Structure formats: C-alpha cells, structure tokens
Structure 1
Amino acid sequence: MQTVEIVLALLAAVVLSGAAARFLPLAVPAPLVQIGLGALIAMVTKTPVSLDPHLFFLLFLPPLLFLDGWRIPKDEFFKDLPIILELALGLVVLTVLGVGLFIHWMIPSMPLAVAFALAAVISPTDPIAVSAIAQRVAIPKRLMHILEGESLLNDASGLVCLRFAIAAALTGSFVLHEAVLNFAWVALAGIVIGVLTTLVVTTLNAWLSRAGAEDAGPQTLVSLLIPFAAYLLAEKVHASGILAAVAAGVAMSFSEAARQTVAATRVRRNMVWDTLQFTANGVIFVLLGEQLPSILAGAVETVRSTGHHEPWWLAIYVVAITLSLGVLRFAWVWGSLKLTLLRARRRGDHPVSPDWKIITATACAGARGAITLAGVLTLPLVTATGEEFPARDLAIFLAAGVIVLSLLISSVALPLLMKNLQLPPDTAALEQAEQARAKLAIAAVHAVEHMQSSSPHADDADFQTASARVVDIYRDRLDGLAQTGEVAQAARRARGFEKEVRLVALQAERQALHKLLRQKAVHGAAQAKLTRELDLAEARLRV
C-alpha cells in the first residue's frame, strides 16, 4: 500500500509541477520544479524510494528514446549527422579523458578508474531538460535538432565508456583494442536489432490489419511494446539497448511512411504517447529530487574520503567539475565549427559564421539529467576482491550536484543568450511547405473533378453544388499560395486575422455547448461528438 501511495504522490507532483512552473514569477523550467517537489516528498514522507537503476533504465528510457527517434525530423537529422556524431562520440571521449583526469587531479583519493567512470556518467546530455527550457525561450530549430540528435546517441557512448571504466576499476586492467571491438559490437548490434524489431513487428501488424478492420487500441499497444522489445533483445546479446530503442524509433517513422494508417488511429495513438511522454519525463525528475535528501545526508561522511572535513568542499568540487564540462564543450563546439567552415571554404563555398551567442548557447545547453543519475547508481557496491567500491558515495554526490547545477546554468544562460537574437528566417523550409500545400490542393481538385464526372450522383444538383463548394475552397488556397511580394504578405496577414476570428468563433461555440450541457439539452453520444469536432477544429488552427 505504501508503494502505491508513493507512486500517486509522484504523479501528483508531476501535475503540480506544470502549474507551478507557469505561475512562478521567474522562468523556472519544469524539471527544476519537479526536482524540488521530489525533494519535498522525500522530506515529508521520510521513506526514500529505493531506486533500482536497471529497472529505471527499462521502464523509462526505451519509450522516451523511441519516441524521440520516431519524431525527430529525419532530413535534418541526417543532414547534421556529422556534427551530431562529433558531439555524441568525439566530445564524449574527450570528456571522459579530460574531465576524468581533472577529477583525479583535484581529488587524488578517488582512483583514476573511478574518476573516468564519473566522467563517463556525466558526459551524456539530457534532451528533456533542454526541451523544457526551450518551451520558455526560442531556441533555433536547427540547434534543437542537433541537441536532440546528440542526446539520442551520446547516451549509448557515455554508458559504454562507463562500462569499461567500471571493469577497469574492478579488475585493475584495460585493453584498448578489446574496448574498441566491444564498442563496435555494442553500437552496431544495437542499431541492427532496433531496426529489425520495428520492421518485423510493423510488417506483422500490417498483415493482421489487412485481415480485419484496423483498431486504434491494439495499434497503440503495439507501438508501446516495440521499444521494450528492442531494448530487451539488445540487452540479451550484450548490445546497447539504448541505441536499439533509438534505432527502433527512427525505423518506425520510415515504416509509417511506407504504409497508410487510419487517421483516427494516429490521433488516438499520439494522445497516448504525449501523455506517456509527459508523465515519464516528470516522474524521472521527481525521482531525481526524491533521491537528493538521502544523498545530501551522507555529505559529511563523504567529504572525509577527500581528505577534508568541511562539507563546502563538495560544493567546490561540483562547481569545478561543471565548469570543466562547460569549458570542454565550448572548446569542442568552437573548434568543430572552425573546421567545418574551413572545409566549406576549401570546397569554394562562402559560409557565414554564426553568432557567438549560438556557440555559447550550444555549450550551455549541455544539461545533465536522468541518465546521469541512473548511470552513477549502477556503480557496484564491492570490487572483485569483496572490498568496498572506492569513492562510490562521493561519485554519486558529485553526479547529483552536476545535474542540479547544469540545469540551473542552462535555465539562466539560455534565455539570456537567446534574448533579442536575430535569426534569419528559414525560407527554404517555408518554400518547401508552400510548394507541398499547392501540390496537395491540385491533387484534391483533380480528385473532386474526377468524382464529379464518374459518380452515380453526377446529375444530382445538390451533389454538383457540394462538389463546387469543395473545389472553391481548394482554388482559394491555390490562389493564396500563388501570390508573391507585398500581396503575399497581405494575404498571410489576412489569414492571421481569419485564424484569430475563427478561434473566437470556436470559443463561442464551446461556451454555447457548455450552456446546453448545463441545461441538459445535449448529452451522451451527441455531447462527445460535438466536443471532439470542436477539439479537432481548434487543434488544427493552433498548429
């Protein structure tokens, strides 16, 4: 019963965090509010949640990483793949080596292998935190795509480095060529398993759907099971379950494009996934906050392992490690950008160097989160000889401190850097969307005209009137898309006013419906149908 109460308290904290983040006077992102509420729950209940890292990985990471891989824009992802790989692989290796050596130099009592393990676990960035901050400040879309792609891949590289560092700490040995081969197997096998899992499941699911009517419930459940299947299969063969979940999500988007899914199924499935994403993201940070009091409680004992007696030395270590992460990240991003510009100039291009604020924002966007906490908790309790694992509590405390401080830095720095930043409009994407809309409208007009001539109701005056009305809607859209210059700007302005007026009209419809409901003039199926029509119409206008 106590477990159920704790789970309900965690879910209630997630709900409250959303409202609290909106009403706080400062632009505090939801993750920080959730961490605070989690810590409050721990102090009030006095019953800390025993967090099993392996269970945590299984329950939360596969669906969230699968969804990120599914929804990330594929063209942008593959276009920026070289930059993403530089951050997800090169920067992680640099962080493990550079920060690991720095930690061992700063805290000599922490063995080098344990310092590398700590550096590996704090190397992955957290996309959830940055996404939450991005809701408060306009981050350039391409930068967000790069940060999302980086976080999808650096989780695996960081955790693989953690595995090697733990093995070195337990056995006292490290073989480079074995580590490289192991990394290649972990990565490639995980990607292949993820792709194959999605292809097999979606192919079987499509075959079953063709055998009978498609039902949204089973379709949604299948999509929820795919990431867990990919993750578990990869872990069974000692491959990366994280990369398997990501690859399964990427393959899911291509599989969806290859077959038609009923619109109602997509709407209901997206609602379920949105709810799952909101809940899982929130619970992750509430759990993180819930672990903090117990970690802080051992701070006095932990600091003695560093050779000091004052607890504030731990704060100095946390600040120093966080700053070293930021400096390395800034240096890597700046150097990578200079090399990219140099290669472009050698090809004969004339690239424009981005604003320094963009480079600094990329460095400040490296907030750490749930994977860092879960990863550091997987540090073993004892070594192969049965002795206590060295500096384990200290590593956990430092990792937790880096998480909180990096979130604070991102929350403060990103809004300041993005303020008044003039970004060039994404004209290529806008033109592509306009051209696509025109082609869709032309296809719709041709289909209606064909129906007018071939339908058994072709001679029916009402049918002809209805068809002409539909064609007029699409021709008006085509006329608007064909306009250019000031005329196009005026048309877009008019469409903006039209959208505003239609939203007011929809709100009036909704208020009238509520009045009818209070008067019991509408109920049952009619109420559900009218509400759904208004919801879909409003959602379409607010896209």
Structure 2
Amino acid sequence: MEAVSIVLFLLLAVVVSGSLSRMLPLSVPTPLVQIMLGAVIGLSTSYRVELDPELFLLLFLPPLLFLDGWRIPKDELLKDLSTVVELALGLVLLTVIGMGLFIHWMIPAMPLAVAFALAAVVSPTDPIAVSAIAARVPIPKRMMHILEGESLLNDASGLVCLRFAITAALTGTFSASAAATSFLWVAGIGLAVGVGVTIAATRAKAWVSKRFGEESGSQILVSLLIPFGSYLLAEHIHASGILAAVSAGVTMTFAEISRQALATTRMRRNSVWDTIQFALNGIIFVLLGEQLPAILAGAKATVLLTGHHGTGWLGLYVLAIVGSLIALRFGWVWVSLRLTLLRRRHRDGATLHSPDWRLVAAMSLAGVRGAITLAGVLTIPLTLNDGAPFPARDLAIFLAAGVIIVSLVIASVALPILLKGLTMPPEPSLQAEEDAARVLAAEAAIRAIERSQHDLAEREGNADFYAAAGTRVMDLYRERIDSRSGSAKATAEARLQDRLERDFRLAGIQAERASMIDLVRDRRVGSTTAQKLMRELDLLEARYRV
C-alpha cells in the first residue's frame, strides 16, 4: 500500500511541477522545477523511496529509449549520420576513457572501474531537457535533429560502457580483448533481438486484426509491451537490453508503415505514449530531488572517502567534472564540424569556412545531462559479489546528480544567449515534396472514388445519384491538385487561402463548442449526443492545428 501511495504522490508532483514551471515569472526549465519540488518533498514529508537498481533500470529505461527510437526523424538522422555517429560513439568513448582517468586522478579514493562507470553515466545527453531550456529561443531544427540522434545512440553506447565498468568493478578484472568480443555479442545480439521482437509482434497483431478486427486497447498494450519484452529477452541471453529497446523503437517506425493500425488507434496510442514519456521523465527528476536531502546528509561521510574534510570539495569536484565535460565536448564538436566542412569541400567543391564559435559553443552547452544519467547511476549495484558495499557508490551518485543540476543551470542561462540570432546552414525546403505527395494522394483518392461510384451504380442502379455524391467529394481533391500544380504565384495564393480557411474553421469550431456547452447546460442536449459531437469537434480542431 505504501508503494502505491508513493507512486501516486510522485505522479502528483510531476503534474504540479509542470504547472509551476509555467507560472514562474522566469523561464525556469521544467526539470529544474521537478528537482526542486522533489527536494521539498524529501525535506518536508515522511515519504522515502528505496530504489532497487535493477527494478529502476527495467521500469524507466526501456520505454524511454524505445520511444526515442520510434519518434526520431529517420531521414534527418541519416542526413547528418556521420556527425551523429562522431558525437554519439567517438565522443562517448573519449569521454569514458578521458573523464574516467581524470576522475580517478582527481579522486584517488574512487577505484578506476567506478570512475569509468561514473564517466559512462555522464556521457549521455538529454534533448528533452535541452528543448525545455531553449523554450524562450527555439533551437534550429537541424541542430535539434543532431542532438536527438546523438542522444539516441549515446544513451545506448554510454549505458553499454557502464555495464562493462560495473562488471570490472564486481570481478576486479578487465580484459580489452574480452571486452571487445563481449561488446560485439552484447551489441549485435541486442540489436537483433529488438528488431526480431518488434517484427514478430507487429506481424502477429496485424494478422489478428485482419481476421478478427482491431481493438485499440490491445493494440496500445502491445506497443507498451514491446520495449519490455525486447529488453527482458535480450538480458536473458546476456545481450544488451538497452540496445534491444532502441532497435525495437527504430524498427517500429518501418513496421508500422506496412501494417497500419486504425486512425483512432494511432491517435489514442500517441496520447498514451506522450503521457508515459511526460510521467517517466518527470518522475526521474522528482526522484533525484527527493534523494538529494539524503545524499547531502551523507555528504560529510562521502567527502571523507576523497581524503578531505570540507564538504565544499564535493562542489569543486562537480564543477571540475562539468567544466571538463564542456571543454571535451567543445573540442570534439569543433573537430567534427571541421571534418564535415572538409568532406563537403572535397565532395562539392564548396568554400571552406571555420565553424562559427557560437554554433560550437551552443552544441557544447546543449550536451545537458538528464534522465538517462540519473537512471544509469542509480543502477550501480548496492553490493559487490562478496556482499561488501559497492565502493564509492554514494560519491558517484552525488557527483552524477551534481553534474545534472549544474549542467542544467549553465545551459538554461547560456543557451538562450548563444541561440539568439544564431543561423544554421540553410535547409532545403520540404514544401515541394509535401505538395507532390498531396497531389499523388489526391489522384489516388479520385480513382478510388470513381471505382466506388461504378461499383455502386452497377449493384444498386441510380448512377446519377452516386455520381453527384462522388463529384462533391472529388471536387475537393481536384481543388487540391489544381492549387498545388499551377504557377508559383498560384501556389502561394492557394497556401494563403489554406491558412485563412484554417483560421476561419478554427473560429467556427470554437463557436460550435461554446454553443454545445450552452445546450448541455440548458439540458437541451443529452450527454451521449454531446460527447459524440464534442469528439467530432476535437478531431476537427486537432486536424487544423497540426
């Protein structure tokens, strides 16, 4: 019963934090508000959350990584794949090795394996925290796509490195050749498991839906179970459950294209997943805040592990780690952008320009640590194989929590300044692609309506009646084709008309909804009829607000 109460209390805290972040006069990022609210809960209530590392890993990471893989724009990811891979794999490896050695040098009391584990958990970035921070100044789309792709891959690579570091700490041995062989198995089989589970699950539910009909609730549950099934199966055969969840999400995009669910199922499923993402990310940050009082209470004992006595040393360690991470990322981003420009000059003969320092600085500070870092550090085991306490676990958690908070604060102050007026290289317009797709879809719709007209006329007679009804619908599609196949001026005018039509329709929908509310209040319309009509209005409004 207490566990249920704690979960409900955490969910309430997530809801309150979302409202508070919008009420505050300053644009404080929601993750920071959630951490502060969690700290208030930890100080003022008797609720205490005892975190089981394995359970924490299972509950939080698979769905979050699965959703990241599912929703990330695949074309944009492929467009900047080389840059993403350089950041997500090369930078992670450099961070784990470089920061691991630096942390061990700075804090000799922390074993080298634990230092590598800490370096591994601070290597992944969090684009959700970045988007919350940059709400005042929108991030250029291409930069956000790079950050999303980097986050997706470095979550997996960082957590796989964490796994090896923890194994080395538990066993006391480490072999580079054995680790390389193990990595190939862990990564390759983990990726294959995610792909296999997703394809098998989507094919099975498509087969059932085709023969027996589709039930939205069961379809949504299947999508929720896929990341957990992929993770558990991969872990059972000693592969990477993290990579399995990521590959399952990426595969879900392509599996859904060929086996489409009903429109209502997709809409409800998107809403469910949006809620899960909001809740899980929020709970992680609230938990960080809730754990802070206990972590700070043990700071005096924790600092003794470092050979010092003043708790101020812990703050210095956090600042040193954050500063080193930013410097390391700045150097890597500058080199990566330089290499990208060199490749472009070699391929296209373009003029070589030095990367804009503001762009490099923005990309460096955008490497904010967030939910995955906290989730990873909390999965460090409580004890070694012999039952002894895991060395420097509390110190690692304190430093990781400090890195998250300090990186959020620095980015929330500096990113809006750097992003203001920053222009990325021009992106090719997708409008022509969209227009062509709309024309082809409209032509296919006209052909389908004509076939339906002929079939009904042959079966039922009264061809003129069906022709008139079909013509009214086809006129809408023909208008779309004409508006997107003419001259540039005609096309621009058609788009302006579309925007005006959308605004007028939205105004009409708002008036319809207000009228419906008045009818319900006056008891002139029953609740069943009102719910049906309000649902139609909601769907129309969602369509025109896309």
The answer (yes or no) to whether the contact 1:458–1:464 under 8 Å persists in 2 is: no
Residues 472-491 of structure 1 correspond to what in structure 2 (within 5 A)?
472-491=475-494
Q: Deviations over 1:95-150 (max 9, x none)?
A: 01111222222223323232222111211112332243355432122222222222
TM-score, normalised by the number of residues in structure 2: 0.94
- The answer to whether residue 355 in structure 2 is matched with residue 344 in structure 1 is no
Write the distance in 2 (CA, Å) between the matches of 1:212 and 1:453: 29
Task: State the one-letter code of the partner of 2:117.
Answer: A
2:335: which partner in 1? 335
| Overall identity of the aligned pairs, in % | 60
Q: CA deviation at 1:43?
A: 1.2
Task: State the one-letter code of the partner of 1:402.
Answer: V
Write the distance in 2 (CA, Å) between the matches of 1:122 and 1:22: 28
CA distance 1:520–1:426, shift in 2 (3 Å): farther
- Tell me, which stretches of 5 or more residues in structure 2 are unaligned? none
Write the distance in 1 (CA, Å) between the matches of 2:171 and 2:511: 71
Deviates more, 1:477-486 or 1:267-276: 477-486
Q: How many residues align?
A: 543
CA distance 1:477–1:402, shift in 2 (3 Å): same
Q: CA deviation at 1:427?
A: 3.4
Q: Deviations over 1:348-372 (max 9, x none)?
A: 4427756443322221111112222
Task: State the one-letter code of the partner of 1:84.
Answer: V
2:411: which partner in 1? 410
The answer (yes or no) to whether the contact 2:35–2:287 under 8 Å persists in 1 is: yes
2:516: which partner in 1? 513
Deviates more, 1:413-422 or 1:252-261: 413-422
Residues 452-467 of structure 1 correspond to what in structure 2 (within 5 A)?
452-456=453-457, 459=462, 461-467=464-470
TM-score, normalised by the number of residues in structure 1: 0.94
Task: State the one-letter code of the partner of 1:363.
Answer: S
Residues 134-533 of structure 1 correspond to what in structure 2 (within 5 A)?
134-350=134-350, 355-383=356-384, 387-423=388-424, 426-456=427-457, 459=462, 461-533=464-536
Task: State the one-letter code of the partner of 1:158.
Answer: G
Write the distance in 2 (CA, Å) between the matches of 1:382 and 1:337: 43
The answer (yes or no) to whether the contact 2:284–2:375 under 8 Å persists in 1 is: no
Deviates more, 1:349-358 or 1:49-58: 349-358
2:47: which partner in 1? 47
Q: CA deviation at 1:461?
A: 4.7
Q: Deviations over 1:74-114 (max 9, x none)?
A: 22223333222222211111001111222222223323232
Deviates more, 1:480-489 or 1:242-251: 480-489
Write the distance in 1 (CA, Å) between the matches of 2:216 and 2:514: 30
Q: CA deviation at 1:214?
A: 1.1
CA distance 1:428–1:250, shift in 2 (3 Å): same
2:540: which partner in 1? 537
Task: State the one-letter code of the partner of 2:77.
Answer: F
Q: SS at 2:214's partner residue?
A: coil
- Runs of 4+ in structure 1 deviating by more than 6 angstroms, as ranges, are none
The answer (yes or no) to whether the contact 1:288–1:373 under 8 Å persists in 2 is: yes
Task: State the one-letter code of the partner of 2:419.
Answer: M
Task: State the one-letter code of the partner of 1:438.
Answer: V
Q: CA deviation at 1:454?
A: 4.2
Task: State the one-letter code of the partner of 2:252.
Answer: M
Write the distance in 1 (CA, Å) between the matches of 2:133 and 2:446: 43
CA distance 1:385–1:8, shift in 2 (3 Å): closer
Task: State the one-letter code of the partner of 2:188.
Answer: L
Write the distance in 2 (CA, Å) between the matches of 1:258 and 1:409: 44
Task: State the one-letter code of the partner of 1:304.
Answer: L
Q: CA deviation at 1:53?
A: 1.9
Q: Deviations over 1:212-270 (max 9, x none)?
A: 11111111111111111000001111111111011111111111111232212212222
Write the distance in 2 (CA, Å) between the matches of 1:351 and 1:49: 57
The answer (yes or no) to whether the contact 2:88–2:154 under 8 Å persists in 1 is: yes
Q: Deviations over 1:26-83 (max 9, x none)?
A: 1112111111111111112133211112111111211121112111122222333322
1:112: which partner in 2? 112
Q: CA deviation at 1:331?
A: 0.9
The answer (yes or no) to whether the contact 1:14–1:279 under 8 Å persists in 2 is: yes
Q: SS at 1:185's partner residue?
A: helix
Write the distance in 1 (CA, Å) between the matches of 2:189 and 2:515: 58
1:58: which partner in 2? 58
Deviates more, 1:123-132 or 1:175-184: 123-132
Write the distance in 1 (CA, Å) between the matches of 2:400 and 2:39: 16
Deviates more, 1:227-236 or 1:449-458: 449-458
Task: State the one-letter code of the partner of 1:455.
Answer: L
CA distance 1:474–1:183, shift in 2 (3 Å): same
The answer (yes or no) to whether the contact 2:104–2:115 under 8 Å persists in 1 is: yes
CA distance 1:246–1:380, shift in 2 (3 Å): closer
Q: CA deviation at 1:519?
A: 0.9
Q: SS at 1:124's partner residue?
A: coil
Q: Deviations over 1:122-180 (max 9, x none)?
A: 11112332243355432122222222222222122212222322333344432111111
- Tell me, which stretches of 5 or more residues in structure 1 are unaligned? none
Task: State the one-letter code of the partner of 1:224.
Answer: L
Write the distance in 2 (CA, Å) between the matches of 1:425 and 1:511: 43
CA distance 1:394–1:472, shift in 2 (3 Å): same
